[in-house]
Amino acid sequence: MSGEGEKFVAALDLGTTVVRCLVIDQNGVVRGEEKSNLILEYPKPGYVEVDPVVLWDQVLQVIKEAVKNAGIPPSSLTCMSITTQRSSFLCWDINNNEPLCNIITWKDLRSAGLVKTWNSSWIREKIAMNQVRFGTLDTFLIDKLTDGEKHVTDYSCASPTGFFDPYVLGWADWALKMFSIPSSILPQVVPTVGDHFGTCKIFRGIEIPILCSIADQSASVFGSGLFNYGNVKVTLGTGAFLDVNTGGNPHTSVAGIFPLVGWKFGSDLVYLAEGISKDAGTIVEWGKSIGLYDNVNETSSLAESVPHSNGVFFIPAFNGVQAPYNDTSASAGFIGVTATAKKAHMVRALLESIAFRVHQLLSVMHSEADFNFEYIRADGGVARNDFILQTIANLTGKRVERPTSTEATALGCALMAGIHAGIWSSREEVQSFYKISEDQTWNGNYWKLELVPKLGPSYLYDPILESHAVIKDIITPKPNK
């Protein structure tokens, strides 16, 4: 095996659809990787769950196989890092670490019903006997990896739960009382980076320090090198997540933009303002499932094969519409389809809907906060679509950059752990790992956008249509001023 004298970090990345592990060397190069598709269960309409037993088996597999694929022994790992999807949670038995329920994912829509179930469930009896632990996925994985020794979460994973107060950096007493959540079952909230996560014990006779645990979008911001106030990134994965670095102050919003803790790294406390559209990759995959195309890689060229969408809208709302409308009951669908609409028009409308939602979220943030930016950095699987990135650039008038590797999330958590372990000296040193080539940059053109009143009287318009402007006239591209 190789690796003698070298230093390596294992990065466990648990997303919405894939669980993967990367082994990254001291030069920021991925030396080994393994991934497995996350198995989502839909027991009822609106329910989206994951079997925690199956997930744990997948986690063990990807970590061990990634190390094997890197061609190094586990003892060559200097440290380990974890990044996970947020707001997915479960409860487990404190006595044996066995789950008491399936993981309820962040895409699940039954929150109101869960509160009622929580207050009458048999789980209350176990809580009264101090036999239950609650946690989001990061907490559950750390508990399992450390063999039950640690029940912790970091600030970035705690802040999206809805009962953590980012202004006081602690569990919100008012929320715990409102939802009758006993503080005894909650994990201790700790900084994003440090020695307080324990050690990974899955390799016989070897314990690997876990030095970082961070929420996926926060890891993406760090991995994209966006350390300064006003820096903007968009992650286009299962959903679209637009994050703005707001420095040391949380952003207060009335439109549904979330004030989140980005990370707590030593004395560095960074907040993010985040706008979410829960549908991005789901839209692209849905188009494939109904036969609009055979391969998602075809979509960009299909969309570009026509000059406009021929008046076709797509409402990207398989999981409701988030900020600024925040309507969980909204539904997805095509509008404005006529007999002259072709497959390419519908594909273009699908991709445009993703870009329009990103532009809409950014517009909302601009209306609430005073920040200037020169570029948007994009990552995630859907960010491989050139047409979507060009459309975002056109709508915003800003440069959109895509790194040569779109795995900023895994890279971000690995770099944090590595800096703490002394593999790298500072965040400035690791910025060189973020590489962009000229053909991975899209400059904005000035587009004239108008709403074409094709759908009848104004009272028939849904406000969401305001963000899906029909492109009536495309001005000749002009350089940015």
Query: How far apart are the C-alpha atoms of 240 and 249, rounded to whole Å?
Result: 23
Task: Give residues with Cβ within 8 angstroms of 5, minimum separation 6.
Answer: none
- 67: phi then psi, degrees, rounded to nearest 5: -65, -45
Q: CA quadruple 99, 100, 101, 106: dihedral positive or negative?
A: negative
Query: What pLDDT is stored for residue 382 in this prediction?
Result: 94
Q: Is the pTM of this model over 0.85?
A: yes
Query: How far apart are the C-alpha atoms of 424 and 37, rounded to whole Å?
Result: 32
As a residue count, the chain comes to: 481
Helix (H) or strand (E) holding 210: strand 208-215
Residue 214, beta-bridge partner list: 83
Contact 16, 409 (CB under 8 A): no
Where does 338-402 have alpha helices with state H? Answer: 343-368, 386-396
Where does 51-132 have alpha helices with state H? Answer: 52-70, 111-120, 123-128
Query: How far apart are the C-alpha atoms of 87 and 424, rounded to whole Å?
Result: 31
Helix (H) or strand (E) holding 125: helix 123-128
Place of tokens 């030593």: 266
Alpha-carbon Rg for the chain in angstroms: 23
Q: DSSP letter at 386?
A: H
Query: What pLDDT is stored for residue 72 in this prediction?
Result: 97
- Rounded to an integer, what is the distance from CA 274 to the centroid of its chain? 10
Q: DSSP letter at 318?
A: B
CA nearest to 156, candidates 57, 85, 227, 80:
85
Residues in the chain, pLDDT under 50 = 120, 446-481
Contact 88, 106 (CB under 8 A): yes
Cα angle for residues 467, 469, 474 (degrees, 5° grid)? 140
Query: How far apart are the C-alpha atoms of 56 and 71, rounded to whole Å?
Result: 23
CA 200 → CA 5, 25, 31, 74, 211, distances in Å? 22, 19, 20, 11, 10
Query: How far apart are the C-alpha atoms of 185 and 214, rounded to whole Å?
Result: 21
Query: How far apart are the C-alpha atoms of 379 and 186, rounded to whole Å?
Result: 32
Query: What pLDDT is stored for residue 455 in this prediction?
Result: 35
Contact 81, 416 (CB under 8 A): yes
Query: What pLDDT is stored for residue 115 in this prediction?
Result: 52
CA 459 → CA 27, 258, 453, 455, 456, distances in Å? 58, 30, 11, 10, 8
Task: Give residues with Cβ within 8 angstroms of 177, minimum separation 6.
Answer: none
Place of tokens 């094997």: 68
Task: Please list, residue by residue across 426-442, b when 16 or more beta carbons sit within 10 angstroms of its beta carbon and e when fewer do.
Answer: eeeebeebbeeeeebeb
Contact 387, 178 (CB under 8 A): no
Query: How far apart are the C-alpha atoms of 220 and 216, rounded to whole Å?
Result: 6
Instruction: State pLDDT tens for residues 254-305.
Output: 888 999 999 999 999 999 999 999 999 999 999 999 999 999 999 999 999 9
- 114: phi then psi, degrees, rounded to nearest 5: -65, -35
Instruction: State pLDDT tens for residues 73-125.
Output: 999 999 999 999 999 999 999 988 899 999 999 888 776 555 555 554 667 77
One-letter amino acid at 402 equals R
- Rounded to an integer, what is the distance from CA 443 to the centroid of its chain? 25
Q: CA quadruple 117, 118, 120, 122: dihedral positive or negative?
A: positive
Query: How far apart are the C-alpha atoms of 89 and 289, rounded to whole Å?
Result: 29
Q: CA quadruple 412, 414, 420, 425: dihedral positive or negative?
A: negative
Task: Please list, residue by residue across 368-407, b when 16 or more beta carbons sit within 10 angstroms of its beta carbon and e when fewer do.
Answer: eeebebebbbbbbbbbbbbbbbbbbbbbbebbbbbbebbb
The token pair at 331 is 């539904």
The three-class DSSP label of residue 51 is coil
Strands (E), 38-138: 40-41, 49-50, 77-84, 89-93, 103-104, 132-136
CA nearest to 314, candidates 268, 345, 339, 278:
345
